[in-house]
Amino acid sequence: MIRYGILGFGLHAVRRLMPGFEQAKQCTVAGLWRRDPEKAQQAVRDYGRFPIRAYDSPQALCSAPDVDAIFVASPDALHLPHVLMAVQNRKPVLCEKPMAMNSAECEQMVDAAERAGVLLGIAHNFRFNRSVNRLRDIMAAGKIGKPVLARSEFHYDTRGSARTWISDASLACGGPIGDVAVHCIDTLRYILQDDIVSVYARALYDQQSGTVEYAATLLLEFQKGTISTVAVSTRADYRSPLWITGDAGLLGAEDALTVEHPIQLICKPINAHSVSEEVSNDTAYAEQVDEFALSIEQGIPFRVPGIEGLKNQRVLDAAYRSIRTRNRELVRSPK
């Protein structure tokens, strides 16, 4: 049984991580750190069914002998120092997305983990969604032929959000590009089993969003030829449609990425009837932490190693460069 310490116990831990740990079979939560000590102690009281303890500093949590692995869920700008701290304490570390503020920081994380022989994973939880894995299997089976076009969107409303740091450019990698377009990017790469070679991006800003974008559209070119659009915004109801057009049919769902309710996946080959399939993603967060625990204990490969986070971050870097230059930008390959 792997005992996690959550470094950065905020809204995401409450809404997503702890419900996942409640379902998990291979791990539990033994410790947490939060910037507000009073809120940290309240979390310990709220989750008394776990053997959980609040630590007064990130270093105390990372060095605790009764914590086996660190889950970094702090604001984006803290990912680098927190991951390096976990690695220095020889603790396997699962880091939230986006992996860091830029790919140079990601490279530091990957290099440090490799030198120390410490497992580094990135919490791209949608790779653990049943919907995403079914889409990946259907694509691999050739049911809609060669993928030609893809469309992924992620919309939500940050107005009044408890995550006040998400619009602070000193703490956040960006607006919805860094926060959720990275989900779309990773999910498309995973389903198509392909890498992105270039990005053309445009973004919108307003007084409330400040120096980070509140909406954006990305045009992605994949290595094998697929062209994809990603549209994201923080001024809309929660939606996450994903559709892939192949040369032999159509595949996708209107709420492909949600964990809130069951999803109807649709596969429509050309000149054939649609096939609909209902799936639920209700165990995705539990499967993520369980798989990382099994990677620690049994050496089972974790499906989102640090290099995958670095690849996604390089796409984010290219998107933000494109917004500045107003040109198509190539995605730099990892070393």
Residue 335 scores a pLDDT above 70: no
Give the pLDDT confidence of 60-98 residue by residue, as tens digits.
999 999 999 999 999 999 999 999 999 999 999 999 999
Neighbour-count burial of 248, counting CB atoms closer than 10 A to its CB (0-12 exposed, 13-18 middle, 19+ buried): middle
**What's the CATH architecture for 127-284+314-330?**
2-Layer Sandwich (3.30)
Q: What is the mean pLDDT of the chain?
A: 96
42's tokens = 């309240």
Give the pLDDT confidence of 132-147 residue by residue, as tens digits.
999 999 999 999 999 9
Residue 166 scores a pLDDT above 90: no
Position 334 confidence tier, pLDDT thresholds 50, 70, 90: low
Give the per-residue pLDDT at 59: 97
Three-state DSSP class for residue 290: helix
Q: Would residue 266 be called left, alpha or beta, if left means φ above 0 and alpha means ψ between -120 and 50 degrees?
A: beta
Neighbour-count burial of 227, counting CB atoms closer than 10 A to its CB (0-12 exposed, 13-18 middle, 19+ buried): middle
Give how far Cα 191 sits from Cα of 66, 135, 138, 244, Å: 37, 6, 9, 10
Q: What is the arithmetic mean of pLDDT over 220-226?
A: 98
Instruction: Classify strands 27-33 and 2-7 as parallel, antiparallel or unpaired.
Output: parallel
pTM: 0.95
Q: Where are the domains of the chain?
A: 2-125, 127-284+314-330
Q: What fold is seen in the domain 2-125?
A: Rossmann fold (3.40.50)
Give the pLDDT confidence of 183-217 residue by residue, as tens digits.
999 999 999 999 999 999 999 999 888 889 999 99
Report the distance separating Cα 257 and Cα 192, nearest Å: 15
